[in-house]
Amino acid sequence: MFNPNFNYTHRIVKNLVDIASAREIILNAYLMRKWEISLRRDAIIRAAHASTAIEGNPLTLEEVSQLAQGRKITATRKAQQEVLNYLRVLEDIEKYHEKGRINDKIILKLHKDITKNTLENPEYEGRYRELQVYVGNRITGEVIFMPPSPEKVPALMSEFEEWLNSNDSSQLNPVLIAGISHYEFVRIHPFVDGNGRTGRALATLLLSLREFDIKKFFALDDYYDSDRMAYYRALNSVDQKTLDLTGWIEYFTDGVLLSITKVKEKVLQLSLEKYKKKAKGQVALTEKQTKIIEHIISNGRITSGEIQKMFKISRPAAYKEIKKLIELDLIEPKGTGRAIYYVIK
């Protein structure tokens, strides 16, 4: 069975801790339904644009957004179809499994839906390759990577899927599972074309199945597209003899952290609007009061001592800020004596 080779470095561990912290903030933040829908839609559009752009699709983010809204744009049929396919797959990503398991049928269906009506030979849609392919530089013609021979693909995919559904896999952090799977899929290169898009969609699917990206708010594809050379360097940095994925996983977790941090900041900004609106008509929140609310949203609570350190002010000055927020009916005290702290009301 496939057994991933990597080491836990300080960078990977720190990334995983910070990712978990950001995820908790996102899940616990107050968001109106319309904001959740908007964030989810934005993530899908950005992911569809980025993942297809990496493989040469010429559509801009604005054009992808227009397609997502059902509007007509001026572009080739193939360019539009690639984007529409990816949008549809991401919108229904949680459907690509059988009782939480990944198998050949699911992988082939995922590829078929992603490449529908876009390949020169339609027979290649949803079908493992039967010929040797290579990854090359489109400009120089240089061969960058030569994947396994076609006769090895079915067995390699079977071993990979067995690992995905194993106890060993289930005990790993979902972010690590997604990162490992992304690389192994691209390494095997099971299809004639569309491997990148399918591999990235598979990583998204695994995060969804492992209940990591519950709200579907962030698009990792954006990270790859922002610096494509760094993406390719990270993929190519893996030694094909040892298949040590440590460097790749560092890169991958960097991307997840960057992406989820952006979502966290947006969610906090939207969540804060609730409290600003609640205070409006009474007394507008000051900069200090806004930061106090932000801190409570992020951390669940705040103490007088934390406020003193935050603004380098005296205890009476800190209590003055607290008193005002209590009067505005935005926060309330919990605990007693020296153990008192304040939470959102």
Residue 142 has pLDDT above 80, yes or no: no
Given pLDDT bands bounded at 50, 70 and 90, which one contains residue 222? confident
pLDDT of residue 79: 96
Whether 295 and 197 map to the same domain: the answer is no
203-213: per-residue pLDDT in tens?
999 998 888 87
| Contacting residues for 129 by C-beta, under 8 A, at least 6 apart | 150, 153, 189, 190, 191, 192
Using a 10 angstrom Cβ sphere, with 0-12 exposed, 13-18 middle and 19 or more buried, the burial of residue 215 is middle
Whether 255 and 284 map to the same domain: the answer is no
Total number of domains constituting the chain: 2
pLDDT of residue 283: 54
36 or 45, higher pLDDT: 45
Q: Which of 22-36, 111-125, 179-193, 295-309 has the lowest mean pLDDT?
A: 22-36
Whether 226 and 305 map to the same domain: the answer is no
Domain that holds residue 74: 10-267
Residue 103 has pLDDT above 60, yes or no: yes
pLDDT of residue 211: 82
What's the pTM value of the predicted model, to 2 decimals? Answer: 0.78
Whether 304 and 158 map to the same domain: the answer is no
Whether 151 and 284 map to the same domain: the answer is no
275-292: per-residue pLDDT in tens?
666 555 555 678 788 888
Residue 77 has pLDDT above 70, yes or no: yes
The enclosing domain of 296 has a CATH number of 1.10.10.10
Domain membership of residue 1 (yes or no) is: no
**Backbone conformation region of residue 145, classed left if phi is above 0, alpha if psi is from -120 to 50, else beta:** beta
Residue 25 has pLDDT above 80, yes or no: yes
Given pLDDT bands bounded at 50, 70 and 90, which one contains residue 37? confident
